[in-house]
Each structure stands twice: as structure tokens, then as C-alpha cells.
Chain A
């Protein structure tokens, strides 16, 4: 086969992400269930933290990323529930799709869902918490880099838990400690973007970029043995 390995990997990734997006378009689980959940979390935070004392506005960066992490768990579970439900994961395994391509495709699908959730959550914190950012460029860069990292880690850990009876309880304990650096870096970068000067914000973006690259690389190499046995 004269075709380059990278080409076929990307083509397989496109196949998988296309399938996932068509599935979402037909079922609308993310839009009709996970998105409302994410916004509900924002409202619940307001009950926990007195909205009159401006705590919400001050804590906006952290609450935003916490809400992202919670809804991310649902999005990952959804992304692999569609695979395991009808034995599709067996079909994927038996198809001659490149495992690295499947990993990237699942990651891209999760990432796109996360971006939609983040845009909605951003609108949510702007309206509900009255937080207005100053550094939009930093804000967008943080979102994109953090999403790439969360999606890569989510795609990898999702397949670890997929197909197990205890997957719903196992996924959070496997994933949340791992993405703690994303929560830290995302929160700090957002704090900078909401503050007068974006000072240290870009440093944290660097950490997010390193995390994303690392997890994309791990996923590309580790997905094959995981897929074989999940």
C-alpha cells in the first residue's frame, strides 16, 4: 500500500468523527441532556455560594472549569455508550480502521461536544454570574488547548472503562485526578483573562498545550492494545 500511515490515520479519524456527529445529530443526547445538565450545575453553584456577596463572580474561572469537568464525564460516557451498546466496538475492532485513527476520531468527537458545552457555559457565566472577560484571545486559546487535552485524555480513559459493568463509577476516579492539571491551568489562565492584565495566563496555556500534546501522543500509541481487549 503506497498510502502514508498518517493519511490513513486521519482519514479513519474523519470516518469515526463523522459517524459520531451523525449519531449525535439524530439522537441529540448532548444538546438535550448534557447541555442542560451543565447549565443546571451553574445554577446549583449559585445556591451553594451566596450570589449577593460577589463570590460567584470571583470564583467564575474555577466554577466554569468544574462545570466543564462534570459535563465532560457525561460526554465521554455517552461517546463510548454508543460504541458498546450494539457491539459497535467489536465492529470497530474488526474493521481495518487504524486504532490511532479511531482514537483521534473519538477525541475529536468528544472535543467538539466539549466546545459546544464550553460556549454555552461561557454564555451562562456571563449572564448568570455577571463575569466579563478582558482578554478574549487568552480566553479562546485556553478553551481550545484545554479542550484538546480533555478530549485526548477522555478518549483514552473512556475506552479503558467502556464495556465494564462498573464503568459509570470507574471513569470519574480514573479520570479526574489525571485532568486535575487541566482544572488548575484552565482556572489560572481564565483568572488572568478575567483580570486587568493577562500576566501569567499564557504560561498556563503552555502547560495546557504540553498536556494536550502528551495525551494525544499517548493515545495514538496506547489505543491499539486497549481496543483489542476492551
Chain B
């Protein structure tokens, strides 16, 4: 089955006929690409290492990744919660697709936050993991949203999945401050003064690099969302059409480990 060529334009602007790209996403993609190059130049070449009293040296450059990706992941999870609330209100699959897409991209950014934080920590603390309150609560948040994605994979019926994960998407964002606060409080009791925190003093060109990093991360988030949302939307449309091709994987995963479940328990896909 071949689709009619839909792409307009040529060269860079030529769109793949089957893909999730549009004119808008291609233009934003080009802007992101240029900004990434500018960001890398600022972050790795133009900005000077941190030579202040509490010197980070070259390592301050890791912060230009760590902080923006943390901001991007919080943005993503907030969008998931907002889209979940909109789903419960409007009950349209678009909001569900938006919530799901944002959670998945958020998880990618959480992983980057954790890894860059851990790499930075290894240079400062000498170990890959120190019980820094922010890293620890971020790790819990990571598992929480893995659970959200796992719930989505476990429910086959689209309406049931959308409703349940919408509730979870809202509860999850409520959890974030509770977990953050309690872990913070927990560490403040035990913290020794010698442990440096992830709080370098940043100014001048270094501040610019950090700032550009945040802009790039948020633009990248929007660009990824455009594609991921269309992918989720296409999957939902296929599901609705009963074309099981896209569903096959999901169904196989959900059903593979059924074990000794009595037949009467199979609620999925019934309601």
C-alpha cells in the first residue's frame, strides 16, 4: 500500500510521505538544529571554565545539560497532568495522546537529568551516587513515571486506559512535591557540611550558555512532542479502526505473562 506523495517543497523541506513531520515541525526542527550548534559552541568553546573560589573548572559545563533537562522533564510531567485533567473533562482521545506523549518524553529527560547529575557527582563526590536530595527525589519521580507508562501498556481497552492513566497522571504530579519535600527533609538531618551540592555559581557567558541550554531543551521538547503526539494520535486512530497491526505488540506484552489467571478476571477490553 502506497500513500500518495503528500510532501510539498524540496530539499530540506521535503517531507517523507508516511512520516509524522509537517511544515511546522520541519521549520522548528531546523531552528532547533541551529540552536543546538549555537548551544554547543557556547557551552563547550566560548564559555570559560569556572575559576571562582568554589571552582568547578571545566565540570561546570555538565550543568548546561543537567539543569535544562531537569526543567524540560518537569515541564513534560506538568503537561501530562494538565492534559490528563483535560481528558477527564473533555473525554477526547487527543488529550490522552498528549498526556502519554509528554510522559514518555519526560522520562527521556529524567534519564538525562539523572545521568548527567551522576557523572557530575562522580567528579565531586568520588562516587557515582550520593544521596543528594534532588537526585534522590528525581530518581523516585523517574520510577513513578515508568509506572505510569507501564500502566498504559497494561490496559488494552483504549477508553479504560485513557481514564485510568489520566487519574494516575494527575496523582503523579501531586506526588512530586511530597516526595521532594520529604526526601529534602530526610537528607537535611543527615547531611554533612563537606558534601558539595549541585549549586555552582554561574554568571556571565556561563549564564548565557545555561540560559540558551534551557531554551534549546524546551524547543526540543516541543519538537519531540509534535512528532510523538502525531505518532500517538496515529496509533489511537489505528486502534479505533480495528487495524490490529499496531496493537499486536502491545497486546502480546499484556497477554504474554497471564499465568494462572482465571478467565473471569479478564476485564481488559470488555468494558
Contact = CB atoms under 8 A, between A and B. Distances in A.
Whether A associates with B in a native complex is yes
Interface of A: 84-87, 89, 156, 160-161, 163-166, 169-170, 173-174, 176-178, 180-181, 184-185, 188, 200, 207, 211, 214, 218, 222, 225-226, 228-230
Given A165-B257, A170-B147, A178-B144, A214 B268 contact: no
B182 A185 contact: yes
Contact of B151 (A163, A174, A211, A228): A174
B186 interface: yes
A35 B143 CA distance: 28
B257 to A, nearest CB: 7
16 contacts: A84-B265, A85-B264, A86-B264, A160-B151, A165-B254, A165-B255, A166-B254, A173-B146, A177-B179, A178-B144, A184-B183, A185-B182, A218-B171, A218-B174, A222-B167, A225-B166
Nearest to B146: A173
A230 B164 contact: yes
A177 B143 contact: yes
B189 A181 contact: no
A165 B163 contact: no
A170 B150 contact: yes
Interface stretch (B10-18, B116-124, B154-162): B154-162
A226 B164 contact: yes
6 cross-chain pairs, A with B, having the tightest CB-CB distances, nearest first: A181-B182, A163-B267, A229-B160, A174-B147, A173-B147, A177-B144
Interface in B7-29: none
B175 A178 contact: yes
Given A164-B155, A225-B163, A211 B271 contact: no
B178 A214 contact: yes
B178 to A, nearest CB: 5
A83 B185 CA distance: 38
A26 B259 CA distance: 27
Interface in B63-118: 88
A100 to B, nearest CB: 14
Interface residues of B, number: 44
Nearest to A191: B189
A173 B186 contact: no
Interface string B176-197: 0011011101100100000000
Contacts of B151: 160-161, 170, 174
Contacts of A163: 265, 267-268
B171 A222 contact: yes
A225 B167 contact: yes
B240 interface: no
Nearest to B160: A229
Taking each of B157, B178, B255, B259, which has the highest tally of chain A beta carbons within 10 Å of its own beta carbon?
Answer: B178
Interface string B244-271: 0000000000110111011011111001
Nearest to B172: A178
Taking each of B88, B147, B178, B254, which has the highest tally of chain A beta carbons within 10 Å of its own beta carbon?
Answer: B147
Given A160-B164, A164-B268, A184 B154 contact: no
A85 B174 contact: no
Given A160-B151, A165-B257, 8 more contacts: A85-B264, A156-B171, A164-B155, A174-B168, A211-B178, A222-B171, A225-B164, A230-B267
B140 interface: yes
Contacts of A87: 264
B107 to A, nearest CB: 13
Given A173-B143, A173-B150, A218-B174, A207 B182 contact: yes
B174 A214 contact: yes
A218 B163 CA distance: 15
A164 to B, nearest CB: 5
Interface in B181-232: 181-183, 185-186, 189
B144 to A, nearest CB: 5
A32 to B, nearest CB: 21
B121 to A, nearest CB: 20
